[in-house]
Chains A and B, each alone.
Chain A
């Protein structure tokens, strides 16, 4: 839903190394940033910055320094979202970025929904109609995906625990509401003691869940896009072009990328997880062999494969081997190095695999635009869809749990202060809704149904 509250997310890839950016957007973006970012040098404040300028300083959680960072401020309406935007450029690294983001979320921002920055950009009039169509597609696709995958993630034990928690809260709410509605029939005398015990138990349970979330594995977001090709056809350069920055280690020596690299990027609003692989070729180098095996593995889990060939070199056996692996995947064939003399036979390739062909130079950037267009076309025409294995980051779940916990803490405070039960329902309802968010369920008529089915109402 469209709310002008302040949102935040990790704007860059979730990989180790390089620089990671936390983007905060909304009316209170500066307030939120001020709570976590402390500029170096006396008397400096991000408030005094003109738009599009930066300060160096530290991210602090209370007194603990979490990271050093550059804080970039873009004031409304001159930002991507047309709102106040603050970007915290940190040292990157998954764990650190997650930490900073959590800190930001605790300091007043809400985790951004899929596509939400883009949505705001549109609503703020930043993007035009054609792009808006794409954003609409994206939002519906992503929301459906979000529901599917959040429910998917919540299979089994976790899901059952959340459902149990919710059913406990609903029971409590229904009882209180019944008593408020029909006070001559149902009494709340002594109920707060029972409610306190139940709430405390719920808080404990949520704490346990939060702990497991902490230990839980990183969940990737986006369409799994694998860049594939022989060594030194320019896969890493392509990745860098797509990300717009130097990320993968690029050298002229074949086999430099010895492991698979993962990067998250957004191409025209489409979230991609780009996986750069070690070049596939017959190799004796053991370290490299592992990389090649991994690359083959990632083909199987890919939603899309960018198959890169070197336009300046003739195709060989290795290419044939790779093409034989690509029988079932969505593929874009990329003929790289068009800045050099071309020797590759395009026709021959398209005879082997039926896939669109894009010619570009990863080095100069020429043709990158054609690739992006090809990508968006495939996505929005439904050729390319998202693998069910893809998960939405579990950070939102974590935030939902944290907020439910906060609401329940308020319930406990309310009980302590002897607040009347109808006040307690405000926070009980909030907790119920937060947990429902994890299951993709809203409050709706649950409460009325629970009241009528559990309690005999009415004269």
Chain B
């Protein structure tokens, strides 16, 4: 049959948050890239919550930015409210979150893609992967088009055999009624890739005009705006902000849910996919936490030019009539008009233990995967994987070593390591508690951790890199100066300390020692420090954090040093675990299935004990 036939370096399947980053990275690294989507209008769509960032996800976005990804820049262009969460806590858990104008976010990302050289956008459903001898050679579309490529990156999100459900209503579509991708799963299965089914959900959207905001608490943005991208300053992106609103469920809401729980497809068994525990539907919350008298409900704008409001905290798959009753029992929503119903969505995805830490399939050279397809959840998690998959696919074609971030370098490293090592039983969400070295992996130092790498990859330009180097040098220089500058216990110093509510000096002390005092900081000591060079607020922030938490930071660095030793011990690809007689059976099975690349990774597989690791080490030492 006649069909079109084209050749590219890289094909990216899916133009969500993972696909966009993957395609941009590959094209920017010099490769001819084609990006497939079932609908060009849905590029970088946010089908669930209208925000980017939040606890630990904000870290991911800043890391994406430091590596030269797009998400941070795009949200800076299109945010309508900005908040730094956890400001009263330690710097490691400060987390940036922005409300996005969804339509603008999507439009701005699409514009960036369109303006990127070597990047082609194509609306088509990919139906088949082409391969020869375990090496990917391209893809085929539903219309029979064949695209020859050196690498394929699967970023199919929630679209594979998607099914949207509420009550007894079930549509075979992706989010927002978009066309599902129904053919690719079969192709994957034919290649021996195992597929499983996950589930997630989203709440209703309600017409703003039907909401009584006087019964809710206003949630304003921060006065000080911190950009996501290290390339932006507050002045660059400042704008008037839009508010969100807080209200609560009550006993009536809960009663409505309990009385109708048998009509929920989740409880009746109509939904078979595994859902996330951290993002439960409102019916889950009510049934699992019967003691909780109320649950928070956040009313968030979907954008500046729409009257749709997102009902955060109340995702559901209950029937339409129950949804109306339950939403209307919430103060302020008594007369709510539902624009879009809440629904649950089921989709095919993979167990990412089939992937290497590079996000390439172990079994297929040139086949990469990222995003919800890998069993993760969240825009930021998807974008982070997309970026790394794009980078590694490009580097493979360019004949360069892959870029691997470890758990001590980045949240992205934790994310990918967890995905490819642990058999996640539910959609995986990032959390700061998953990062064992989180004190070092702060959102404020993502640039210091990763810009160098982004520059080496070629996604950070010279100008940005030079600015970064200056910042790094300013921090180092100033830290050294502060540690070397000694103040005597003279009257000026003592008076200053007394005024600042600090104890007077007994002997001479360095400026660094004074900054370490809880009641003092770098800015306050300006009067005692006339020699001080002019430094930016970002440099000041690093100085304060580095000095004030030095003890903890040093301890964490020691832990990292331990961790790195096992991480560096590589396991040969062709290792035969059956030859190692002393492994326990369970460990042997797990090691054979996951085939870790380093002893460090092996040690994190559940079911592999420290004794098994000792045995492995000794075997490798032979």
Known: A2-B613, A448-B431. A422 touches B621 (CB 8 A): no
Nearest-CB distance from A73 to chain B (Å)?
25
User: Is A123's CB under 8 angstroms from B618's CB?
Assistant: yes
Asked if A459 is an interface residue, CB under 8 A from chain B, the answer is yes
User: Is A184's CB under 8 angstroms from B93's CB?
Assistant: no
Which residues of B sit under 8 angstroms from A5, Cβ to Cβ?
Answer: 562
8 A-B pairs besides A132-B621, A423-B549, A459-B49 with CB distance below 8 A are: A132-B618, A136-B619, A140-B612, A420-B89, A422-B90, A423-B90, A448-B434, A459-B298
Residue in B56, B295, B606, B617 with the greatest tally of chain A CB atoms within 10 Å = B617
Mark interface residues in B305-349 (1 if CB within 8 Å of A CB, else 0).
000000011000000000000000000000000000000000000
Output the nearest chain A residue to B555 by Cβ-Cβ distance: A426
Point out the residue from A4, A129, A139 that lies within 8 Å of B615, measured CB to CB.
Answer: A139
Point out the residue from A3, A136, A173, A458 that lies within 8 Å of B618, measured CB to CB.
Answer: A136
Which residues of A sit under 8 angstroms from B614, Cβ to Cβ?
Answer: 1-2, 119, 136, 139-140, 143
Asked if B507 is an interface residue, CB under 8 A from chain A, the answer is no
Output the nearest chain A residue to B48 by Cβ-Cβ distance: A459
Q: For the complex, give the distance between the alpha carbons of A184 and B89 in Å.
A: 13
User: Is A139's CB under 8 angstroms from B552's CB?
Assistant: no
User: Is B518's CB under 8 angstroms from A417's CB?
Assistant: yes
23 contacts between A and B (CB under 8 A): A1-B566, A2-B566, A2-B617, A136-B581, A136-B618, A136-B619, A139-B615, A140-B611, A140-B612, A140-B615, A143-B610, A143-B611, A177-B433, A180-B86, A180-B89, A181-B278, A188-B89, A419-B90, A422-B439, A423-B552, A451-B431, A457-B279, A458-B313
Known: A1-B566, A445-B606. A456 touches B89 (CB 8 A): no
Which residues of A sit under 8 angstroms from B433, Cβ to Cβ?
Answer: 173, 177, 180-181, 425, 447-448, 451
Point out the residue from B246, B280, B562, B581 that lies within 8 Å of A456, measured CB to CB.
Answer: B280
Mark interface residues in A428-459 (1 if CB within 8 Å of B CB, else 0).
00000000000000001101100110001111
Q: For the complex, give the distance between the alpha carbons of A137 and B614 in Å.
A: 11
User: Is B618's CB under 8 angstroms from A139's CB?
Assistant: yes
Residue in B555, B617, B618 with the greatest tally of chain A CB atoms within 10 Å = B618
Known: A1-B603, A143-B611. A459 touches B584 (CB 8 A): no
Q: For the complex, give the distance between the alpha carbons of A422 and B93 in Å.
A: 7
Asked if A259 is an interface residue, CB under 8 A from chain B, the answer is no
Mark interface residues in B269-300 (1 if CB within 8 Å of A CB, else 0).
00000001111100001001100100110100
Q: For the complex, give the distance between the alpha carbons of A428 and B379 in Å.
A: 32
Which residues of B sit under 8 angstroms from A425, Cβ to Cβ?
Answer: 433
Nearest-CB distance from A298 to chain B (Å)?
30
User: Is A144's CB under 8 angstroms from B611's CB?
Assistant: yes
Nearest-CB distance from B376 to chain A (Å)?
15
Residue in A5, A445, A459 with the greatest tally of chain B CB atoms within 10 Å = A459
Q: Tally inter-chain residue pairs, CB-CB below 8 A.
A: 134
Nearest-CB distance from B409 to chain A (Å)?
19
Asked if B88 is an interface residue, CB under 8 A from chain A, the answer is yes
Known: A3-B562, A181-B432. A452 touches B621 (CB 8 A): no
User: Is B93's CB under 8 angstroms from A185's CB?
Assistant: no
Point out the residue from A140, A183, A185, A418 that lies within 8 Å of B584, measured CB to CB.
Answer: A140
Pairs A-B, 5 closest by C-beta atoms: A143-B611, A420-B90, A452-B277, A458-B279, A459-B312
Which residues of B sit under 8 angstroms from A58, Cβ to Cβ?
Answer: none
Asked if A421 is an interface residue, CB under 8 A from chain B, the answer is yes
Asked if A135 is an interface residue, CB under 8 A from chain B, the answer is yes
Point out the residue from A132, A173, A459 that lies within 8 Å of B313, measured CB to CB.
Answer: A459
Asked if A182 is an interface residue, CB under 8 A from chain B, the answer is yes
User: Is A140's CB under 8 angstroms from B582's CB?
Assistant: yes
Q: For the complex, give the distance between the alpha carbons of A448 and B85 in Å.
A: 21
Point out the residue from A177, A417, A419, A421 that lies within 8 Å of B431, measured CB to CB.
Answer: A177
Q: For the complex, give the distance between the alpha carbons of A419 and B550 in Å.
A: 13
Known: A177-B431, A423-B549, A452-B277. A136 touches B582 (CB 8 A): yes
CB under 8 Å from chain B, chain A span 161-200? 173, 177, 180-185, 188
User: Is A183's CB under 8 angstroms from B621's CB?
Assistant: no
User: Is A180's CB under 8 angstroms from B615's CB?
Assistant: no
Asked if A37 is an interface residue, CB under 8 A from chain B, the answer is no
Q: For the complex, give the distance between the alpha carbons of A41 and B291 in Å.
A: 72
Output the nearest chain A residue to B246 by Cβ-Cβ distance: A184
Asked if A122 is an interface residue, CB under 8 A from chain B, the answer is yes
Q: For the complex, give the distance between the alpha carbons of A315 and B313 in Å.
A: 87
Asked if B565 is an interface residue, CB under 8 A from chain A, the answer is yes
Output the nearest chain A residue to B315 by Cβ-Cβ distance: A459
Output the nearest chain B residue to A188 by Cβ-Cβ distance: B89
Which residues of B sit under 8 angstroms from A181, Cβ to Cβ?
Answer: 55-56, 278, 431-433
Which residues of A sit under 8 angstroms from B610, Cβ to Cβ?
Answer: 1, 143
Q: For the complex, give the distance between the alpha carbons of A420 and B556 in Å.
A: 16
Output the nearest chain A residue to B422 by Cβ-Cβ distance: A445
User: Is A143's CB under 8 angstroms from B609's CB?
Assistant: yes
Q: For the complex, give the distance between the alpha carbons of A24 and B175 in Å.
A: 63
Nearest-CB distance from A134 to chain B (Å)?
10
User: Is A122's CB under 8 angstroms from B562's CB?
Assistant: no
Which residues of A sit under 8 angstroms from B276, Cβ to Cβ?
Answer: 458
Nearest-CB distance from A114 to chain B (Å)?
10
Output the nearest chain A residue to B558 by Cβ-Cβ distance: A5
Q: For the complex, give the distance between the alpha carbons of A452 and B433 in Å.
A: 12
Nearest-CB distance from B611 to chain A (Å)?
3
Mark interface residues in B579-622 (1 if CB within 8 Å of A CB, else 0).
00111100000000000000000010010011111110111011
Residue in A2, A144, A444 with the greatest tally of chain B CB atoms within 10 Å = A2
Which residues of A sit under 8 angstroms from B56, Cβ to Cβ?
Answer: 181
Known: A136-B619, A456-B292, A457-B277. A1 touches B55 (CB 8 A): no
Which residues of A sit under 8 angstroms from B277, Cβ to Cβ?
Answer: 452, 457
